[in-house]
Structure 1
Amino acid sequence: MVSPVPVGPPVAAPVAWGPAVVVSADMTGGPTGFEPYILDTADKLRVFVYGQPNLSRLYTVDQVGNIAIPLIGTVRARGRTTVDLTHAIAAKLGREFVKDPQVTVDVAQNRPFFILGEVRLPGQYPFVSGMTIEQAVAIGGGYTERASKRTYRITRKLGPLVDQIEAPGDYPLCPGDTVFVYERFF
């Protein structure tokens, strides 16, 4: 007697996600300063459209990842570079409103970074280009008396993924990073 053969695609077992894995900064590399800046929520952008003063102004990337520009409506900014966004705005304007639009987009203010844990003034602060973890701690009011000064945890959003790494004090930060200062155990 022959047993029946199942018909249809195989059914995959459900995937159980475990706890987040924290890796050392030397394994992931880290920002070198040569990566293109990827736009995200809370970035303030300066958009200049030549010959169109009503369109040329500061725009803030909203929670959904868009900017709202008069005449053309919302334009997706999250996940794009300033060059990509320049081309998207020019294309939308050029379709109906402006003949051969000359558009420039640059970052007027980066999104903030966050510092938590054993610092005197945890919270959200404006990002400064070239900042390291130790400089972020100084901005956060310095260490508390219980702070560990050996390693720190950085949480960084990379597109749809969130990466957590342990890094030394001289590790460079990116806009939107969250730095956690550990408590020492002695």
Structure 2
Amino acid sequence: MKQKLLNGLTGLVILGLLQGCASGEFAEHNTQSQMASGRVFSQPEVYRLGPSDKLRVMVFGEPDLSGEFVVDDQGKLDLPLIGDIPAGNSSVKELETRIITALKDGYLKEPRVSLEVISSRPFFIQGEVARPGEYSYKNGLTLQDAIAVAGGYSYRANTSNIFIRPVGSNYEVPVNLTGARLYLRPGDSIRIPERYF
């Protein structure tokens, strides 16, 4: 009798631990989803530079210091004379200021610098569109525009349940296309599921 009671208690403890682990995993997933959905889709964000972004750097009056450069995997821009400049997660204006400061440090008296993003990291779209794949991101890109770029919906598309996995997140966020325009960031991944009827 004692052995049966002990076995029963052990089973309850193990079951409780398993449920706790599962609920912890669910809670973590839920938290991650909330964090991802907390990202504002309804308004454009300031563009933040990242690896593979290609920039045109113009230092006025200094053609040898000007040119086209790519942000490397470490988020740095390797420029003539001043070397590696941190660029990852910076706005264009922030990077301009950083380059000006570096050039003033013993190189040029009053440098004037202009930056332009020539090509950005891509966004991704998969599922029920005419041409799923990887596409160049343009600043201010909306979800609706991204679907159009991919050739529009296929006839099997479920347009009421679209999912976005924001860049840097492991979880998809369900979105609804009715209402406000939804803005994307480079690196975002869109999935258009299939309808079942």
Question: TM-score, length-normalised on structure 1?
Answer: 0.76
Distance 1:166 1:90, change over 3 A: same
Alpha carbons 1:23, 1:164 under 8 Å: kept: no
Distance 1:153 1:24, change over 3 A: farther
Q: Distance in 1 between matches of 2:38 and 2:102?
A: 42
Alpha carbons 2:43, 2:182 under 8 Å: kept: no
Distance 1:148 1:47, change over 3 A: same
Offset at residue 131 of structure 1 (A)? 3.0
Offset at residue 96 of structure 1 (A)? 2.7
Q: Structure 2: give runs of 5+ residues left out of the alignment.
A: 1-23
Aligned match of 1:11: none
Q: How many residues align?
A: 168
1:74-125 Cα offsets, whole Å, 9 max, x none, are: 1111111111111211122221322222222232233221111222321111
Q: Structure 1: give runs of 5+ residues left out of the alignment.
A: 1-15
Offset at residue 28 of structure 1 (A)? 4.8
Instruction: Determine whether 1:64 maps to 2:74.
Output: yes
1:103-151 Cα offsets, whole Å, 9 max, x none, are: 2223223322111122232111112343322321222233233321112
Q: Percent identity?
A: 34
Offset at residue 162 of structure 1 (A)? 6.0
Aligned match of 2:116: 106
Alignment equivalent of 1:38, drawn from 48, 57, 64: 48
Report which of the two structures shows the higher radius of gyration computed on alpha carbons. Answer: 2
1:1-21 Cα offsets, whole Å, 9 max, x none, are: xxxxxxxxxxxxxxx654364
CA RMSD of aligned residues (A): 2.7
